[in-house]
Amino acid sequence: MNYYRYTETELKKLLKTMVILSDTREQANDHITGYFEKKGIPYKSKALSFADYSAMIPADPDMGIMRDLFFDQSVVIERKGSLEELSGNLTNGRERFKDELTRASKAEFHLMIEGKSFSDIINHRYTTQFNEKAYMASLLSLQSEHGFNLAFIDRNDAGLYIYSFLYYHVRNKFLKG
């Protein structure tokens, strides 16, 4: 995507208009939307083809942007609220999860897991019967196969992580042209 080269001041002004997109099917995310509201970060619910979060820049003819710019095909964040939820995606819902990863193959895909760590998988600190070695192998195999990024984020920092990651992705798109 080719973008006009903005000055640092223009770019900061433009990035202040960035809107976080939250998939219409996203549930139990009040802690995230609450963070956005507290910080005055614009967000809206929109049906996304895959994943839970992305970003857009609204049209701004004065800045040379004649229509809304959507980044939901170039960068997305898939949020898992727990290791139990992810466990279900790696077992019973594995084919559906793989289909989503395949649909997102042209996008930078980030899997964000709230409130736990890789150590929690290794030490079976979750409430499903999924064996920890199989869990780890399944997750890392899919990561290798589909090339997604993996982030374990404290629940209290989820909104900040989503906003910051998308902000810098969009910023870099404008800087690199």
Q: Per-residue pLDDT tens for 50-81?
A: 999 999 999 999 998 999 999 999 999 999 99
Q: Tell me what the mean pLDDT of segment 118-130 comes to.
A: 97
Structural domains of the chain in order of their starting residue, each with its CATH number? 8-176 (3.40.50.10130)
Q: Tell me what the mean pLDDT of segment 104-115 comes to.
A: 95
Q: Tell me what the mean pLDDT of segment 89-97 comes to.
A: 94
Confidence of residue 5 (pLDDT cuts 50, 70, 90): confident
pLDDT at residue 97 greater than cutoff 70 = yes
Cα separation, 110 vs 149, in Å, equals 5
Confidence of residue 21 (pLDDT cuts 50, 70, 90): very high
